[in-house]
Structure formats: structure tokens, C-alpha cells
Amino acid sequence: QVTLRESGPALVRPTQTLTLTCDFSGFSLSTSQMCLAWIRQPPGQALEWLALIDWEDDKFYSSSLMTRLTISGDTSKNQVVLTMTDMSPVDTATYYCARRVAGTFDFDYWGQGARVTVSS
Amino acid sequence: DIVMTQTPLYLPVTLGQSASISCRSSRSLVHKDGNTYLSWLHQRPGQPPRLLIYKVSNRFSGVPDRFSGSGAGTDFTLEISRVEAEDVGVYYCMQARQSWTFGQGTKVEIK
């Protein structure tokens, strides 16, 4: 049974760095074709892909946000961490982690999401 | 970046009737491996999205056969036959040909 759960601060001040953690179970990120992504959704808006890490520890970033994002994985803990620097109110959103099986399923399992508000 | 455009953005439907959502990509979604990486997701209010259709026309595990996907190249369609109350929410198309981008979403409501 695949499960994912996001955790992190609910409130972040402008200019601060956001750190989010995705704890997952039911698969290993070191298994061939397994990937984990971060996707966000501002209130009432569409989904936006942010970053992805794959089974070979290759990392991919949204072209519009790549200077602010870092994704990392810890296969021993079944955990993936996303950091986003220089937060601003437009970054207020629900942040999801989701699994991808390369070549087959894109985002077949999702966490419940972590709601993050950026405000002073 | 590949831009995904959905129509309509709002779709009122009658229970038991069919519904259709279109999605157009700014570039062909055919990958060099021969696959076309177009998926459809459904999001109910307050819930995370869930995968319905992958690679244009393949239903994900547990998805009712009332849902079907079709299309090729840059034009794709999601059909819902015999709409049920649980089908309300927002439907997104998503491409995975080059990075990942989503359509704006189509909100489906019961008339």
C-alpha cells in the first residue's frame, strides 16, 4: 500500500526559506523507475509542478523556479525534502508530493497536501 | 514549456448524461519512446488530485469504465458516460512529454 504524507510549517514569513518533507511508504525510491515529485496549488488555482527526484538521484526543476528550489532524497528514511528560498505571498499554496513510475504512471499516488501561507 | 489548454472551463452536467472535456497541447506529446504522455486527473473539493487516465487512454486501477480517454498528437478528450454525483470536481489534463504541465482545469457540476 503506497502512502505519502507532507509535513512542514503552515506559516512562513516573506524572504524566509520553506522546508517541506514527504514521508512515504509502500515503495522505495531506489527501485528502478521510481520517482517522487513536488506539485503545488495556490488557492482556487491550477496545479503547478515544481521538482522531481528519480531512482538514480537525478533531479529536475521547474524552469521558472529552479533558482529557488532544491530537492533531495533519503532512501534509508523513505523521505524526500524540498526547500524553496525567498518565499513571498504568491507562494501561498497547498504543496503536494506525488509518486511517478517512469514510463508508466505519472503521479499515481498523492499525499493529502501541506497548506503553506506566506505572510508577515 | 508545453502549454495545456482545456475547454470548457465550466461544465454543468445532468446526472446520467455524458460529459466531454477537451485538452490541447502547444506541442505534440508523442515521446521518442513512442508513448504519448497525456494523463487526466480528478480533484474533488478539499482532496488531492487522483489519477484517472494515463498515456491517453489507459484507466488507472479502480477507475470506473465510465471514464475514457482518447486523442493523439496535440488533441485529447476525456469522456464521462452516465455522470454520477461523485464525478463532480475539477478535471485536469497533464502532459509528461517534457517536464510536467497541467491544464487550467475544468469544473464539473451537476445541473
Interface test with B, best of A107, A112, A115 (most B CBs within 10 A): A107
Per residue in A78-90, pLDDT (tens digit) is 999 999 999 999 9
Query: What's A93's DSSP letter?
Result: E
- Residue A43, exposed/middle/buried by CB under 10 A (0-12, 13-18, 19+)? exposed
Interface of B with A (CB under 8 A): 1, 33, 35, 37, 39, 41, 48-51, 54, 60, 92, 94, 96, 99-105
The pLDDT of residue A105: 86
- The Cβ of residue B67 has, within 10 Å, a number of other Cβ atoms equal to 18
- Note whether A106 contacts B37, CB cutoff 8 Å: yes
pLDDT band for position B100 (50/70/90)?
Answer: very high
Which residues of chain A are modeled with pLDDT < 50? none
A60 contacts in B (CB within 8 Å)? 99
Distance CA A7, CA A5 (A): 7
Per residue in A26-45, pLDDT (tens digit) is 999 999 999 999 999 999 99
B51 pLDDT above the threshold of 90: yes
b or e along A108-117 (b: 16 or more beta carbons within 10 Å of the residue's beta carbon)?
Answer: bbbbebbebe
